[in-house]
Amino acid sequence: MPGGSGGLARVLTDTGTETSKAGTGRTPIRWADLRLRLISAVILGPLALLCLWLGGPAFVLLIGAGAVGVAREWVRLCGAQMTQPAALSVFAGLVAAMAVTAFAHPLNALAVLAGAGALSCALARMAGRSGIIGAGVPYIGLAAVALLWLRQDPAAGRADLLFLVLTVWAGDIGAYLVGRLVGGPRLAPHISPGKTWSGAIGGLLGGCLCGLLVAHLHTTPATTWHVVAIAAALGLIAQAGDLLESLIKRHFGVKDSGHTIPGHGGLLDRVDGMLTAAPAAALLALVLGRGVLLWQ
């Protein structure tokens, strides 16, 4: 298990504090990572939005690179080597599913994800390892397929993805800022000691406000409360995804999924909310029908 008991102990005691120089107490570290977070956001944010805006091959390459990067971290979390058959089936399944989706066959892509996940699990068990590695295929792949499928809608794809992505991002930013400024009771201390109720509420409000802004800039929505309801639902699902990833890291006894993004940890740490919010948005789009905006 990566990290071992020492790694788990670090996770259990990571509450955003440090021992004072005098050794007489503990001083909160509230903004130690803010500078790195800002630099990473300024570099990566515009690039992601540009690919989203352009769509086509640029967006496919963005999602493909992101999915492979997250899969790499997932394989390492599971304690597997990149060249092992179980790990290779994870990568192959994700790439194949995204390729199939790129050619407008999302239902076939779901079948590919199911088959690759089962194959990876079986190969891991044959090698005497845990089959949990196979769960990474649908965990990562459903979001990748959902994002590609949403963007393919010629009428609503760009607007829907801007609404989804900016709402989730604003929720992350709001949770970070309000949680650090206000603090207070922990949201789920046994899963993620650093998350607070104030941060969760701040994130939800931030996501709703950003969703309203995107909706009003694009078109006049039917009702403000309808937009708020959709943004709030996506925000709650994203927060659930954040907690799910924290639970996964606790299971493996690590604090971060990796060190790919300075100030944020790994790619999985950055996109954990999107992994659950994107499939939910795609399901809503499927119910509403192609060409209909998510908030209408």
Per-residue pLDDT tens, the chain, 296 aa: give them: 444 434 433 333 343 333 333 343 343 446 666 676 677 778 888 999 999 999 999 999 999 999 999 999 999 999 999 999 999 999 999 999 999 999 989 999 999 999 999 999 999 999 999 999 999 999 999 999 999 999 999 999 999 999 999 999 999 999 989 988 998 999 988 888 888 999 999 999 999 999 999 999 987 666 889 999 999 999 999 999 999 999 999 898 888 777 666 555 688 988 999 999 999 999 999 999 999 999 98
DSSP per-residue codes, 106-171: HHHHHHHHHHHHHHHHHHHHHTTS-GGGGGHHHHHHHHHHHHHHHHT-TTTHHHHHHHHHHHHHHH
179 contacts 199 by C-beta, under 8 angstroms: yes
Question: At a CB cut-off of 8 Å and minimum separation 6, what does 143 contact?
Answer: 67, 271, 274, 275, 276, 278, 279
- Read off the amino acid at residue 186: R
The domains of the chain are located at 36-288
List the structure tokens of 207. 């996501």
**Do 86 and 55 form a contact (C-beta atoms < 8 A)?**
no
Rounded Cα distance between 51 and 11, Å, is 35
